[in-house]
Amino acid sequence: MINPESVSRRQFLSSMIATAGSAALAGLACADKAEFPPTRVITKGPRHHWFGYYDKLQFDPSSRYVLGMEVAFEHRSPKEDDVIKIGMVDLQDQDRWIELGESSAWNWQQGCMLQWLPGSKTKVIWNDREQGQFVSRILDVKTGEGRTVASPVYSVSPDGKTAITPDFSRVQDVRPGYGYPGFPDPHFKDLAPQDSGIFKVDLETGKRELILTLEEISRTGTIPNQQQDIKHYFNHLLFSPDGSRFITLHRWQYPNGKRLSRMVTANLDGSDVRVVVDNGFVSHFIWRDPQHILTQSKATPDSPSWGDFLVKDVSQGKLQQVGKGVLDNGGHLTYLPGNEWILNDTYPKGKSRIQTPHLYHVTSGKRIDLGHFHSPAIYTGEWRVDTHPRFSPDAKYVCIDSPHKNEGRQLHLIDISKIVGQS
């Protein structure tokens, strides 16, 4: 982990930023001038490999093993009987692929919620289906011992003992590509059911309890552009760094298919619900620390464009813009350990459909692009390939998903050690 008090690293940053005239530190480096950090593709065809969302632990604590998923097809929605392989890449053994298991509960954007179990050096967790329900698997990759929890998961607490999860059947109904096919929403006709919402899961006992219902959130605070026929759901959940609270997006869909969102936080028992961003326009987010959240939003409902904002975890928090005009306002945000750098990316831009993962130095306001990755036009909609950059615990590497030549989506490893001052 980065030590923010490191004298040598501070000296490195001071020296680098003082010479910020180079293309690498330009606010938006041009493709033909940028000197990008070393990158290699760590998976290969003919099968396709990816990881999914940006806020999960893809690397093990030693930064040696990189989790991924493997599939034989692309460019269509998954069916309930489509199976993907679960595996990991050994970065110290010629990027060897090690198969771990499989899943039939997955989607293109977030996979099967595959992640290293926080607090463990050797255990991973992912979602699957079994005997008519969604479940999660916990596997020790060293011993091969595994067990099944009778509930799917979304976000796992920092101590690895608790998970929170939305109703994936509900999500699949209103937002295909983020839920799992196969089990229809039993509350399909109910706009804000009492029996659906966010569940807390004890990963040690398997106990699952509903802690925040859609009915409750539908009558909490003021809902922008309120209508009687809007359909409520939760998506995108994340524990706070100290495990005391969680974020979720409360979303509602109109009959014409459009949707708006509010950012909500709560305690792990569903109490002390706070509508942090209530303007209806809020998306990707990450905790900076247990009291502050970095999120993409509009400053007001009438703002012409989105931005990146830091906000305190309070009801109707004040939005403070970060990196205006430099940090992309549509990417997937995370802080590197120490909070001196923000890792982000872009959606495909221009006729060439270029995606650009990048680092943003908070103190200096400088941006460093990590590469330009072409996304062919066929990768759109539900089966698009967002790069979703994830960093290693030692902050030496970033891993992204991106199409590679004629091999489809593959995992790419970017060495950022020289940028952030690692030896």
Residue 347 belongs to some domain of the structure: yes
The whole-angstrom separation of Cα 30 and Cα 123 is 41
The whole-angstrom separation of Cα 207 and Cα 221 is 30
If asked whether residues 224 and 297 sit together in one domain, one would say yes
If asked whether residues 266 and 388 sit together in one domain, one would say no
Q: Are 232 and 252 in contact (CB under 8 A)?
A: yes
Considering 279, 295, 322, which residue would you say is the last residue of a domain?
Answer: 322
Residue 173 belongs to some domain of the structure: yes
Number of domains in the chain: 2
Considering 281, 297, 322, which residue would you say is the last residue of a domain?
Answer: 322
Q: Are 84 and 103 in contact (CB under 8 A)?
A: yes
Q: Give me the pLDDT at residue 88, please.
A: 98
Q: What is the DSSP string of 314-359?
A: STTPPPEE-STTTS-SSS--EEPTTSSEEEE----BTTTTEE--EE
Residue 292 belongs to some domain of the structure: yes
If asked whether residues 192 and 293 sit together in one domain, one would say yes
If asked whether residues 301 and 367 sit together in one domain, one would say no
The whole-angstrom separation of Cα 111 and Cα 179 is 10
Structure tokens at 229: 């026929």
If asked whether residues 299 and 380 sit together in one domain, one would say no
If asked whether residues 200 and 318 sit together in one domain, one would say yes
Considering 292, 322, 352, which residue would you say is the last residue of a domain?
Answer: 322
Residue 388 belongs to some domain of the structure: yes
Q: Buried b / exposed e across 45-56, counting CB within 10 Å, b at 16+?
A: eebbbbbbbbbb
Strand, helix or coil for residue 121: coil
If asked whether residues 160 and 266 sit together in one domain, one would say yes
Structure tokens at 372: 């330009």
Residue 12 belongs to some domain of the structure: no
Structure tokens at 158: 């920092």
If asked whether residues 315 and 331 sit together in one domain, one would say no
CB contact set of 165 (below 8 Å; sequence gap of 6+)? 151, 152, 153, 154, 155, 198, 199, 201, 237
What are 289's strand-pairing partners? 292
Residue 411 belongs to some domain of the structure: yes
Structure tokens at 226: 């309120």
If asked whether residues 317 and 336 sit together in one domain, one would say no
Q: Nearest to residue 367, comparing CAs of 106, 84, 27?
A: 27
If asked whether residues 288 and 353 sit together in one domain, one would say no
Q: Give me the pLDDT at residue 101, please.
A: 98
Residue 262 belongs to some domain of the structure: yes
If asked whether residues 197 and 341 sit together in one domain, one would say no
If asked whether residues 192 and 287 sit together in one domain, one would say yes
Q: Give me the pLDDT at residue 34, please.
A: 56
Range of the domain at 392: 323-422
Residue 93 belongs to some domain of the structure: no
Digit-by-digit pLDDT tens for the chain (423 residues) are 344 333 333 333 333 333 333 333 333 333 344 589 999 999 999 999 999 999 999 999 999 999 999 999 999 999 999 999 999 999 999 999 999 999 999 999 999 999 999 999 999 999 999 999 999 999 999 999 999 999 999 999 999 999 999 999 999 999 988 999 999 999 999 999 999 999 999 999 999 999 999 999 999 999 999 999 999 999 999 999 999 999 999 999 999 999 999 999 999 999 999 999 999 999 999 999 999 999 999 999 999 999 999 999 999 999 999 999 999 999 999 999 999 999 999 999 999 999 999 999 999 999 999 999 999 999 999 999 999 999 999 999 999 999 999 999 999 999 999 999 843
> Which CATH number characterizes residue 351's domain?
2.120.10.30
